[in-house]
Amino acid sequence: MKNEKTNTPALLHDRARRSGVLLAALIALAITPSCVTTTVGGPSGRFDESLSEGPGLDDALAPHGARQTLLEHDKTAGAPSAGELIGAGDRERAIGDYPKAHRSYFRAHLADPENLVPLERIAYLSLRSSPANSAALFRELLDEDPDNASLLVGLAYAELGEGHMDEARLALDRAIAIDPESSAAHAAYAVVYDILQEYPHASESNHRATLAVDKANLQILNNQGVSSLLAGDPEGATEFLYRASRLAPNSELAANNLGLALALQGRDQAAYEAFRLHGSRGDALNNLGLACYMRGDSQAARQHFEAALLSGETDDVRVLRNLERLDAPVAAQ
């Protein structure tokens, strides 16, 4: 749930927009297709660092045939089988190494051009940086496999990224009609309901997503935590996010969300420790300051921002912007 390179959760930036920004993290984590064998697409929640193989790839995907463009930009080839390369890409994506995952999926596509799975994975990675291009690729894949529920879920996320709520719901309705037990589709519908601020429905969809799998996974637990935060229940969110963080201790996203939930309850020391798991001291102090700002404690927020500046371990420009926001008139916020 962050979009800053300083490990600052995006949802902390603007109290007036916190629901919408918080959902960016949820969407980032929830894009893993149901057929992926590893846990989630990656811990960072960033949308801008996934497609780095070849200059201009994002621009090239939309106006030309996506499949041909993928081939033209590939620079690798190798002996491993497509299945082995997909597995390698999934492992790389699970730890947040998106450029390597991207190359592995390219190589898998070259090894087995008729297999749609590598292109599906690439489409999900593209979703992080360009929902429009991702949607184009998902549509091409659906032309070849129109009853693939996982592809429909991916298209729904791309539509959400473009702000097309009705189209996203249509895609999810089709996915659930094809596979009523699709955990990914129900989890995606929870995102839709969170955007619409229909939190009881979001909770119900998250519950259905949980029932559709053998055990709770990081994606589902994080989604349930985010839904609880959006519904104004940081205590309930903490339970889910503690479980998510224990299940995936390397997940920066789960740790930052947990820190937010704790800070919104005034449990600042525990929140700082959660933020500190995957960030510098300065990053953690900046995050804690933003959380204090969200809960209306301007004095504590200022103290943490100033301490972050003194630490020399974070992006000073961003901290100064947060201090400016703190000093801005209420109407301007």
Q: What are the structural domains of the chain?
A: 1-30+213-333 (1.25.40.10)
Q: Enter the tokens of residue 28.
A: 């980032």
Q: Which residues contact 277 (CB under 8 A, 6 or more apart)?
A: 245, 249, 252, 255
Cα–Cα distance measured from residue 173 to residue 152, given in angstroms and rounded to the nearest whole number: 9
Q: Is the pLDDT of residue 165 over 60?
A: yes
Q: Is the pLDDT of residue 246 over 60?
A: yes
Question: Mean pLDDT throughout 32-54?
Answer: 26
Q: Is the pLDDT of residue 253 over 50?
A: yes
Grade residue 301 by pLDDT with cuts at 50, 70 and 90.
very high
Q: Is the pLDDT of residue 12 over 70?
A: no
Closest CA to 73 of 86, 90, 88, 61: 61
Which amino acid is residue 164, in one-letter code? H
Q: Is the pLDDT of residue 29 over 90?
A: no
Please, what is the average pLDDT of the chain?
Answer: 76
Q: Based on the number of CB atoms within 10 Å of its own CB, is 20 exposed (0-12), middle (13-18) or buried (19 or more)?
A: middle
Convert the pLDDT of each residue in 129-160 to its tens digit: 888 888 988 898 899 899 999 889 889 989 99
Q: Is the pLDDT of residue 324 over 80?
A: yes
Question: Mean pLDDT throughout 164-188?
Answer: 93
At 317 the three-state DSSP class reads helix
pTM reported for the whole predicted model: 0.63
- Give me Rg for the CA atoms of the chain: 20
CA-based torsion, 155, 157, 161, 165: positive or negative = positive
Whether the CB-CB separation of 28 and 253 falls below 8 Å is answered with yes
Question: Mean pLDDT throughout 176-193?
Answer: 91
At 265 the three-state DSSP class reads coil
Select, from the ranges 68-72, 120-124, 235-239, the one with the highest average predicted confidence (pLDDT).
235-239
Grade residue 215 by pLDDT with cuts at 50, 70 and 90.
low
pLDDT of residue 329: 65
**DSSP category for residue 37:** S
Whether the CB-CB separation of 234 and 264 falls below 8 Å is answered with yes
Q: Is the pLDDT of residue 57 over 50?
A: no
Whether the CB-CB separation of 188 and 150 falls below 8 Å is answered with no
pLDDT of residue 19: 39
Q: Enter the tokens of residue 151.
A: 């592809």
Q: Is the pLDDT of residue 1 over 70?
A: no
Q: Enter the tokens of residue 209.
A: 């997503």
Q: Is the pLDDT of residue 36 over 80?
A: no
Instruction: Pick the range with the lowest mean pLDDT from 35-49, 97-111, 303-317.
Output: 35-49
Whether the CB-CB separation of 153 and 33 falls below 8 Å is answered with yes
**DSSP category for residue 267:** -
Grade residue 45 by pLDDT with cuts at 50, 70 and 90.
very low
Cα–Cα distance measured from residue 44 to residue 48, given in angstroms and rounded to the nearest whole number: 11
Q: Is the pLDDT of residue 271 over 80?
A: yes
